[in-house]
Amino acid sequence: MAERITDETIEYVGILAKLELSDEEKEQAKKDMTNMLNYIDKLNELDTDGVEPMSHVFPVNNVFREDVVTNGDERERILANAPAKKDGSFKVPKTVE
Amino acid sequence: MSKQYETVIGLEVHVELATKTKIFCGCSTEFGGAPNTHTCPVCTGMPGSLPVLNKQVVEYAMAVGLATNCKINQYCKFDRKNYFYPDNPQNYQISQLYLPICHDGGIEIETSAGKKVIGIHEIHMEEDAGKLVHDEWEDCSLVDFNRSGVPLIEIVSEPDMRSADEVIAYLDKLRLIIQYLGASDCKLQEGSMRADVNLSVREAGASEFGTRTEMKNLNSFKAIARAIEGERARQIELIEEGKKVIQETRRWDDNKEYSYAMRSKEDAQDYRYFPEPDLVPIVISDEWLERVKANQPELRDEKKLRYKKEYDIPEYDINILTSSKKLADIFENTIALCNKPKEVSNWLMVETMRLLKEEEKEPDDICFSPVNLAKLIGLIDEGAINRTVAKEVFEVIFREDADPEKYIEEKGLKTVNDEGALRSTIEEIVEANPQSVEDYHAGKTKAMGFLVGQTMKAMKGKADPGMVNKILLEILAE
Ligand SMILES: [Zn+2]
């Protein structure tokens, strides 16, 4: 079988996911992804003509909330999860466009 | 001979919806809270939290779609748009790609070049990102998620515009439609309406589009017009030099009047959209659609026709009075109180416009109440104050929304209707100015104006000019 996941693909996916992978990790990821694609191929053996693509397992539609404020100021609890904080904000590395 | 170029422009307009809460959680959308005081696990992307859709967002999106002649997808879904940025806590934005709520609409615009329909490709619902502030003291950035999860609709036009004029006309029309619907206040300066401009140029008559760039950071109509001119010139220069226009996102710097390529995020834009698994599909029944249709408020074009019919005021005035929902509301609410359409129109068209211009404000910034304008009109009508005093009082209404009845009482501005008091003042003035009296009798009409002026001055402006004229003529004729 032709190589389904090329080195370039792994490189590209790594960039998109912001991951720096070692050569060994790249090889492993290539194998894993190839296995996943092969597994998906199994599903292609089924005849799905006339079957609508499904996005949810349950046949549920229209789950809504009314437009009413239910949350108060939870800043301290929210910021308790921040790796770094300052002045009531999440602190992150300098980011400018 | 130099070549002729045509500019091709399409817009992506983001509008913040006027809901009380965010799109997927019960956090307030109110402006101005301290950083992160309107946040919860959902809008900060905490693991395990689940979004629940705000029904009002769907209704507003439908209303805008209907008002812009779109078809409504009665089966629509959300998708995930994946990218990393610190203002995006989930590392994806919940948006709509495959089945947006509205599609294939359009609105008619009018410019000096005539009338034209600008197509709307689609309108989709999505969530806003947080705000990144660069820290002044440390080499870091601070993230405030109060805006994260505020509902947006993105209105994507067809590439149907050919000039800055058309772009402004389109944006203005869109702004008014959405304001009239009450779906958003659409303030460019404050970011509740944002426009990204996709622009390319091609030789006049060419059938293929040129390579386009996308410009961001445009926060006023003037900046948009300048950015379009600047980018058009830049692209033509590249083409004339035999270089290529690169498809990229550029940031407009309105101070330097130049656009800069935004640092490409080291990769092509590849958002790897996929169906949002945390939200179930939206099914819009015919009944629901009909209900939203039936609840659509009167839009500007209908309002214009009605004003013409009901109030019999000039078209020019109607255009201005309906150019802002706020102004039209004040106009109608004041008429409801005093039933004097021409008089109300006059105060709005002349004094209000003059004061707005003086203070460099927009009609949307008006803060006086119809009650006080109606009272002022009533006071003039019953002769309690004259027009000169009324203008002075109106300025106070305009600035502080003062109650004119209380104000003229406190300041003692009521017109003196006591004829005897007025007559004795005028007699004194006539006596003190024999030269003017002589001039008047010699046929110099200017002398009359002088005497009226002196009387008004002595009365501190509180006399009824009609009455002053009448008494003065009587005395001079004696
Ligand atoms: Zn929230």
Q: State the pLDDT at residue B29.
A: 96
Q: What are phi and psi of A57, to 5 degrees?
A: -70, -40
Q: What is the residue-averaged pLDDT of chain B?
A: 91
Find chain A residues with C-beta within 8 A of B251's C-beta. Answer: 97
**Could you tell me which residue, B442 or B102, shows the higher pLDDT?**
B102
Q: Say how far residue B336 (Cα) sits from the centre of its chain.
A: 24
How far is it, in rounded angstroms, from Cα B402 to Cα B133?
39
Per residue in B373-383, pLDDT tens? Answer: 999 999 998 88
Instruction: Report chain A residues touching chain B, CB-CB < 8 A.
Output: 12, 15-16, 18, 55-56, 58, 60-71, 73-75, 78-79, 81, 84, 86-97
Q: Say how far residue A88 (Cα) sits from the centre of its chain.
A: 28
Please state the length of chain B: 478
B134: nearest Cα among B78, B86, B97: B86
**3-state secondary structure (DSSP) of residue B164:** helix
* CATH code of the domain occupying B419-477: 1.10.10.410
Q: CA separation (Å) from A63 to B45, B167, B285, B389?
A: 20, 38, 14, 59
Out of B35, B77, B267, whose CB is closest to A15? B267
Taking an 8 Å cut-off on Cβ atoms, the answer to whether B134 and A66 are in contact is no
Q: pLDDT class for B231, splitting at 50, 70, 90?
A: very high
| Nearest chain B residue to A16, by CA | B267
- Count of CB atoms situated within 10 Å of the CB of A50: 5
B260: nearest Cα among B271, B242, B243, B246: B246
B176: nearest Cα among B322, B38, B313: B322
ipTM score above 0.90: no
Q: State the pLDDT at residue B472.
A: 85
Closest Cα in chain A, distance from residue B239 (Å): 27
Residues with CB under 5 A from ligand 1 (ion): B 25, 27, 40, 42-43
Taking an 8 Å cut-off on Cβ atoms, the answer to whether B55 and A96 are in contact is no
Which residue pairs from B425-433 have beta carbons closer than 8 angstroms and sit at least 24 positions apart in sequence?
B425/B455, B425/B458, B425/B459, B426/B451, B426/B455, B426/B468, B426/B471, B426/B472, B426/B475, B427/B475, B428/B458, B429/B454, B429/B455, B429/B458, B430/B472, B430/B475, B430/B476
CATH 1.10.10.410 in chain B: give the residue spans. Answer: 419-477
Q: State the pLDDT at residue B460.
A: 77
Which residue pairs from B313-319 have beta carbons closer than 8 angstroms and sit at least 24 positions apart in sequence?
B313/B341, B313/B342, B313/B345, B317/B345, B317/B349
How far is it, in rounded angstroms, from Cα B157 to Cα B398?
38
Helix (H) or strand (E) holding B130, with range, is none
End-to-end CA distance of chain A: 44
Q: What are phi and psi of B19, to 5 degrees?
A: -75, 160
Per residue in B143-191, pLDDT tens? Answer: 999 999 999 999 999 999 999 999 999 999 999 999 999 999 998 888 8
Q: State the pLDDT at residue A1.
A: 47
Out of B26, B54, B143, whose CB is closest to A90? B143
How far is it, in rounded angstroms, from Cα B238 to Cα B340?
59
Q: Answer whether residue A2 shows pLDDT above 60.
A: no
Cβ-contact B174, B107 below 8 angstroms: yes
B366: nearest Cα among B338, B340, B417, B329: B329
Mean pLDDT lowest for which of B56-70, B107-121, B451-465?
B451-465
Q: State the pLDDT at residue B466.
A: 80
How far is it, in rounded angstroms, from Cα B469 to Cα B356?
34
Percent residues over pLDDT 70 in chain B: 98
How far is it, in rounded angstroms, from Cα B459 to Cα B421?
10
| Nearest chain B residue to A91, by CA | B142
pTM of structure: 0.82
On the CB side of A3, CA atoms within 13 Å amount to 9
Mean pLDDT lowest for which of A56-60, B245-249, B301-305, B401-405?
A56-60
Per residue in B290-300, pLDDT tens? Answer: 999 999 999 99
Start-end of H helices in A17-89: 23-44, 75-79
How many Cβ pairs closer than 8 A exist between chain A and B?
136
Q: Answer whether residue B265 shows pLDDT above 60.
A: no
Give the contacts of B437 (CB within 8 A, at least 6 positions apart). B430, B447, B451, B476
On the CB side of B25, CA atoms within 13 Å amount to 26
Give the contacts of B269 (CB within 8 A, at least 6 positions apart). none
How far is it, in rounded angstroms, from Cα B269 to Cα B249?
10
Distance from residue B54's CA to the centre of ligand 1 (Å): 12
**3-state secondary structure (DSSP) of residue B8:** strand
CA dihedral B220, B224, B226, B228 (to 10 degrees): 180
